[in-house]
Structure 1
Amino acid sequence: MSLQPQLRPILRQNNAVDPDDPTFQAARETLYRTREFFQPYSPYIKFRAVLGFGSSGAVTLWPVMSHSGRFQDVAIKTPHDENDDLFRQEIQWMEKFSSAEHFIQLARLPSYALNSALYNNSKSEGPPLIVMKYAERCELNELLLGDLGLMTEFDLDWTDEEKIAAVTDIGRPNYVAPEQRDRERPLRENAFGPHTNIWGVGLLMYNALTLYQVVADDGDWAPRACPITMPDGSAKNLVTWAPFLVGREELVYDEFKAYGDDLRTLIARCMADEPEDRPGLQELLDTTTKNIAAGDRIAAAAQEGWERQKEGYPGRREGPVDVSRPPEVEDDDLVRRFFREYLNDPPARGDPYRDYW
């Protein structure tokens, strides 16, 4: 065993298509039904594109005419199986989180575009539909997250078999926490809680930091004991699912060594195998706030130095940013550029199946 998990870039264009794939075949049938359903409302709502599809449903893009006569985009999610109870359950969860900041929210259509009883209604007698705000582009303070499709409320009164079935083999394999991977852990007392969210935060921090994700079916991705230095200066052998970030120098991936030890260690602790080895929410918040403030001071000092340099050379320009390495100074302009290029105006995503729908 190489002990070196495989990583792959998050931002990649996958143009491989298989028109005979059963998932695509189901999505194509779902698209046909959805377009047929909305046909009577075509003056006010029009199909534009398929945004994506999976094993349970498809999401499509529809411009809707507002009262002013202007069109506004919404995303519509339709299940492959109109009797899918999990799909109706997803509507219930989205209703429950209707005021939660940074969650994709349900959208309300004008009454002339569609009867409100026919969508975002878990008790609808017709085919279930989810109409959502479209968040392809967002501002720095409007980042929206959340996918509640497989969410379930854990019941301590369940049988052992029900507990295991509810949390194992569910979700994206490269994002589930360790307590979901081991069939015995769901039976532990307090198996799930804030520590489970900490795992997810750590993995997302890793994704944002490196623009890589782990290949979930790689047998070499497993927790490993790595020597780290804790915030209080003490030494610890941390069993973590991020061995490519910390530990023995020769096992840390070269492309990550340029990042600071403190940041890599924090992420590795969030991705610790045992919940008690992960930092608490308050420590995570305090550490993040402290380091953002320190970075702001460094950025301000660097900007002052740059302004002094320009006084002697008015035509001097800053050099290009080397995107392959973390910047020495992460100033506000660089953060805004990241959000603009990856969130506000992200790389265009073509539909590899556009000729097969």
Structure 2
Amino acid sequence: MSKIAVVGADPAGCSAGYHLARSGHDVTLLDKKCFPKDKICGDGISIESIQAVSIMGIYPQDIRKLASDYAPIHRFFLGVSNQIYHSETTKLEAYCIPRLVFDQLLYEKAIDAGCNFMTQTINKNNWHHQGLYDAFDTIIDARGVYAGEVNALAIRAYWTLNRQDLSQKELTEAQIHFDRSLGVNGYGWIFPVSTQQDSIKFNVGVGVWLDEYQKINTNIIQLFKQFIQSNEIVRQMQSKVVSQQPPKVFPLATAKKGNKVADGKILRIGDAANLTDPLTGEGIANAVKSGFHVAQAINMGNSPDAAADNWQYLYESHFEADLRAGLGIKAFRKFSFMNYLLIWLMKQNPRVAQQISHAVAGVVPYNEVIASLRY
């Protein structure tokens, strides 16, 4: 049995803590805030994320029973702002859930598994000064995006509308709008996140990549306002809004090449390891899965060095190929016509539409989608 510190109690940290505690390790879960705590993000829980949290014993029926706010997602919409779009039904169900609700479910699972929880702020990477390095056999860095390499920005706002002003499709559809004003790879989104009452809450936002954002002479809040004003679908929805919260900005640490996830007895997971999807910004699935695999790495190793080698190997085996494929698609989209062509192909070919939608929903990895579209 090892003495392990998991620093950060978001989905990655709670997943690692859960699996390690269940394996018999002495696990201390540290976070700078007490639960329940909110996190600014898009609130999308992909089909892949739903599958990942099932390994922690959280199933769709648990979400429907325990989550106070949630929205089942049955359709995925991809479009180029004001030009072309395609909406595809998925057989499997995804969700949008406010992170205040979702993260609480994972935290409770980790505590029930035997994790000890402490509030403590860990500044930068000074593990020695704060006493953690000598006190624990292994340290799992799950501090999130600020411990990783920030390479994207996003902004979101919550809008509330009346159910009577919305169609059933709008209540169950996650929309992504590619928009050139947000950069080559920039996009906006509309996600329902709470549909169980007469007042319906939506998460509306935009995401931009830093290398593109630096070329745009407009701050991100203004970009968000421009997206709302220029996109016809979003503008129509805004006309029905009965209340809205101020937008909030948050960073993203998306995938990067040549990623090293282990440094001696420090093992990085989730956003701290830049495991966020480089196309959609979805980070929960890989966060939860990285927690499971880092626990495997520790359980299979007989020393901290062996655990570090195991974790680097498991990262390369389970994550790197798909993340590289996503980076390749992102690079290919630098051509201005690619987003339009992608949606056009989806409208023309049902198989292409299904494959692309499944990739966005997290059912099929990007590298498998690319291979399948060749035939």
Considering Cα pairs closer than 8 Å and 6+ residues apart, tell me whether 1 or 2 has the greater RCO: 2
Larger Rg: 1
Greater fraction strand: 2
What band does the TM-score fall into relative to the shorter chain?
A: under 0.3
TM-score, structure 1 as length reference: 0.22
